[in-house]
Amino acid sequence: MGIIEPERRPAAWQLGIAKRLRAGEGLVGVVLKMPAPALAELAGHVGLDLIVLDTEHGPNNADLLEHHIRAADSAEIPVLVRVSANDRTQILTALDAGATGVIVPHVNTAEEAAAAVRAAHYPPMGDRGFALSTRAGRYGTKRPESHIGDAANHTIVIVQVEDAAAIPHVADIAATSRLDAIWVGPSDLSMSLGHPSQFSHPEVVAALDEIESKIRSAHNARLCVIVRKKDDSRKWRRRGAGIVLFSAMEVIGDQFAEFASDAIADELHGAAIADGHRPAGPLPDFT
């Protein structure tokens, strides 16, 4: 196939996230489980910085993944894909589908981190397989030098530290060349330490503090965290987190729970409200 659009460049929103992260800016994103193309678009429309499509704890069909990245592209929001393992084929599939970067779980050593980086980058930085026939290569219409250059400058690689075995190696992991961030996984970490979901347990808190300190001391990879409350996001921002993530399922679930609370439920069901009166008539239909 010939080169159809030789001068076309990626949009600024596609290129900016890596530059912003490496320049020290803070980013906010949401973790989605597929299928959720409308939520992917919505995340872009409301102004979030990025989406994480979770294929470790959610569906990982390649066609489904590509369609969700298309949906995100339509709303001009970059996509990172959390793969299910440190597997070069999964990393390649995500990047060929047009993802801006990948998140690799359960990385316990610097060697494993370096392997993830290599799988995500073309030679000489890595050993990612090359093809322009992919969505990332605009199905053969992108110049090779342009595709390779954009991938080198703008591909993001994040690894997850979420096992007790990784703690002694965090400093070396964080110093890995071309590693952009480390996502500290509190759920698996607490499980690994023998205190599942006890995030305030002294041993879990001490481990999180140690990991955070080692990441900051490396002056290379940024800290990435996932939170549930806005107050927690502010706390981690003050501690230097470069990426703060929210889980879409938790955000939606918390809102559902609020709507289902007794006070709101009684009001919506027509029970007497604060002034002792009921609504005069049926509510209008806004659908």
Q: Catalytic positions, please?
A: 57
Structure tokens at 90: 């999964």
Give me the residues paired with residue 226 across strands: 245
Q: What number of other Cβ atoms are within 10 A of residue 254's Cβ?
A: 13
Angle at 267 between CA 263 and CA 268, to 5 degrees: 115
Structure tokens at 249: 């399922």
Q: Is the dihedral of CA 146, 148, 153, 157 positive or negative?
A: positive
Measure CA 162 to chain center. Answer: 15
Q: How far is CA 71 from CA 35, 175, 198, in A?
A: 11, 34, 37
Q: Is the dihedral of CA 80, 86, 89, 92 positive or negative?
A: positive
Structure tokens at 110: 């610097």
Give the residue from 175, 166, 170, 158 showing the smallest Cα distance to 242: 158
Give me the residues paired with residue 241 across strands: 223
